[in-house]
Structure 1
Amino acid sequence: MKILNAAISGTLESSDLVVKVSPYEDGLDVTINSEVYKQFGEQITAVVYETLSAFNITQGQIIVEDKGALDCVIRARMQAAILRSTDSKDIEWEKL
């Protein structure tokens, strides 16, 4: 999939996060800002990259503003933002 336009998902409530994605032609530019990055930064980063890999995203700007979200929330917000930005009609739900 390719990120075609800017999209956003999530909130800045506690235990949630905001994911912003937009087109970027020079590979992946991932920025993660988190209140709990010192404790869970490696895991947050792993979930973000795993989700990008699941959608075969190799180009785009991804900004994550985390407020202590669980892995399942990170994954869901990433999926929502990616699907919104790609305008994909043929979603393979079993792969999500």
Structure 2
Amino acid sequence: MKIVREAMAGTLESSDVMVRIAPAEGPEHDLLIASSVEKQFGAAIRSTLLQVLEHYGVPPVQVIVDDKGALDCVLHARLETALMRASESAVLPWEERLENVK
């Protein structure tokens, strides 16, 4: 999945997360995480971000996460939405998964 522009998804409401994604140069993803629960769940947040990026074959990007205590499934959905908005892909990420199930 090629990222061609900046995009974001989510809100700053309690129990939600704002995810911003942008193209980046360099050998690795640049993950910037600000979370009200970072001490407890920072490693899990980072792991979820990297898993989703790897799953969709995203080249190095900058991901800025402003977490307000979102569940893992919410973080996953917000990142997928930001990826879809930032890419040239005409197929939604969840449609790709559904095609693999059939």
TM-score class normalised by the smaller sequence: over 0.9
Query: Which of these two proteins has the greater Rg computed from alpha carbons?
Result: 2
Residue 16 of structure 1 corresponds to 16
Matches within 5 A, 1:26-37: 26=26, 27-37=28-38
Given that 2:2 and 2:88 are in contact with CA atoms closer than 8 Å, whether structure 1 keeps it comes out as no
Alpha-carbon separation, structure 1, partners of 2:3 and 2:33: 18
Alpha-carbon separation, structure 1, partners of 2:12 and 2:88: 24
Q: Provide the aligned C-alpha RMSD in A.
A: 1.2
Could you list the per-position Cα deviations for residues 2-34 of structure 1 after superposition, in whole angstroms to 9, with x for gaps in the alignment?
A: 110000000000000000001112131111110
3-state secondary structure, aligned to 2:18? strand
Matches within 5 A, 1:70-89: 70-89=71-90
Number of residues of Structure 1 aligned to a counterpart in Structure 2: 95
Task: Report % sequence identity.
Answer: 43
Question: Per-residue deviation at 1:59?
Answer: 1.4
Gaps of 5+ in 1: none
Q: TM-score, normalised by structure 1?
A: 0.92
User: Displaced runs of 4+ in structure 1, greater than 2 A?
Assistant: none
Question: Per-residue deviation at 1:93?
Answer: 3.5
Alpha-carbon separation, structure 2, partners of 1:48 and 1:93: 17
Gaps of 5+ in 2: none
Q: TM-score, normalised by structure 2?
A: 0.87
Could you list the per-position Cα deviations for residues 43-84 of structure 1 after superposition, in whole angstroms to 9, with x for gaps in the alignment?
A: 111111111111111211110000000000000000000010
Alpha-carbon separation, structure 2, partners of 1:31 and 1:78: 13
3-state secondary structure, aligned to 1:22? strand
